[in-house]
Amino acid sequence: MKLATRTDSYTQKEIWQQPSIWKNTAERVMASSSRLKELLEGCGAVVLTGSGSSQFAGECVAAALEEQLGCPVRTVGGGALLTHGALALPPLRPLLLVSLARSGDSPESAGAVERMLREEPQVRHLILTCNREGRLARHLQPDPRAGVVVLDERTNDRSLVMTSSFTNLVLAARALGWLRDPSGFMSMASRLSAAGSAILENAEQLEQVAGWRSRRAVFLGSHCRFGAAREAALKTLEMTNGRVMTAADTFLGLRHGPMCAIGDRTLVVCFLSNNPTARAYECDLIEELNRKHLGRKLLVGAGVPGGLAANGDVVFETGRIGTVDDNDAPVLDALVGQLLGYFRSLEEGLWPDAPSKDGVINRVVENFRLHTKVEDGAW
């Protein structure tokens, strides 16, 4: 197994440690439940914000939180808050802005929050971060409008790509919907941990898929799991330094144009829903790809129907995924995506910790100028 020759990789360590940290994250967030309830009290809406992977983390939980909290929940990129301020937010006030951040030092993360603090007095802030020394954690801690939850230091990935930080930020944000049922949340975290461990035990299957050396990869997911598909696509793109071009879509969305990009050397990763109705539509799409002889597929899910996989496809079957609700499964899909990206990086002869040899991308986005509006309306 190739990973055995790379035991000094931060990326490998940070991927494999995740199931053992998820329960710790659940405990940390629930320990702050009183403050979180205060921040949510009377809010007209909740907005999850971040940039890149942190934004995708918000997309993994927004729909589930809206269902549980009974108020509008939206994901807005940090860049949109920088460029458009309150215009990017729902008009309802008070509003809770939840910032998801690995380092808390990126220009968008800090700049967006600082703009909201200046311009929107009825916006409350919750910072979920992996870095207690980051700009967001340090500057917001004393503010009465804000709450800060710092995750275990192990989640502050040292690798270029977000892995442990991503899944633990998803889980931390997901906790907002479980504040009235902490024991239920802890039970769910335990199921996730068991399912994640089962995925890692079968990682060799995903290493074999990476060995196909596909030049394109398309990741498909429904509802909350579309956010995980976007993150999985980013992981392969980042860890192969752009040598493998990737995209993400919903199963039904693929028919509306993007299907034309699927060729013989395209990997199609299908995160199959546990919801029977959604699963039926997903299977229809997979059968259409089979009829059209498009791509080579990796089917990820529990109870994958016999005969659904075409010749040459791989079924990554783990029954434990079936014990997890679709609203909570994105962390497992993301884990599969991380493993695929990691193994594909090795196939390209790259170092997963720092695949961008020319320094085009970095662990933290490099500083750029923040444009601030002055009193006379000029910039």
Q: Are residue 208 and residue 148 in the same domain, yes or no?
A: no
Q: pLDDT by residue (tens digit) across 13-48? A: 999 999 999 999 999 999 999 999 999 999 999 999
On the question of pLDDT at 361 being above 70, the answer is no
Q: Cα separation of 351 and 372, whole Å?
A: 39
| Pair 167, 276 in one domain | no
Q: What is the mean pLDDT of the chain?
A: 92
**125 SS3 class:** strand
Going 79 to 170 to 209 to 302, the CA torsion angle's sign is negative
Report helix, strand or coil for 166: helix
Query: Range of 138's domain?
Result: 2-183
> How far is it, in rounded angstroms, from Cα 251 to Cα 279?
10
Question: Is the same domain home to 68 and 168?
Answer: yes
Same domain, 276 and 171: no
C-alpha–C-alpha distance, residues 117 and 269, integer Å = 41
Alpha helices in 53-178 (DSSP H): 53-69, 78-84, 107-119, 135-140, 164-174
Is position 369 within any domain? no
Q: How does DSSP classify residue 297?
A: E
Identify whether 365 is part of a domain.
no
State the total domains in the chain: 2
> Could you read off the pLDDT of 278-313 as tens digits, one per residue?
999 999 999 999 999 999 999 999 999 989 999 999
Mean pLDDT over 102-110 rounds to: 84
Q: What is the pLDDT of residue 108?
A: 80
Q: Dump pLDDT digits (tens) for 44-82.
A: 999 999 999 999 999 999 999 999 999 999 999 999 999
Alpha carbons 247 and 110: distance in angstroms, whole number: 28
Same domain, 138 and 235: no
Q: Are residues 280 and 219 in the same domain?
A: yes
Do both 274 and 156 map to the same domain? no
Is the domain of 167 the same as that of 209?
Answer: no
Q: Report the C-alpha gap between 116 and 114 in whole angstroms.
A: 5
DSSP SS3 for 118 = helix
Digit-coded pLDDT (tens) for 228-284:
999 999 999 999 999 999 999 999 999 999 999 999 899 999 999 999 999 999 999
> Domain of 87: which CATH number?
3.40.50.10490
**pLDDT value of residue 376:** 39
Side chain identity at residue 202, one-letter code = N
* Together in a domain, 332 and 208: yes
Burial class for 90, CB neighbours closer than 10 Å (0-12, 13-18, 19+): middle
Torsion of Cα atoms, 94 then 100 then 105 then 110, to 10°? -20
Give 76's Cβ-side CA count (13 Å radius). 26
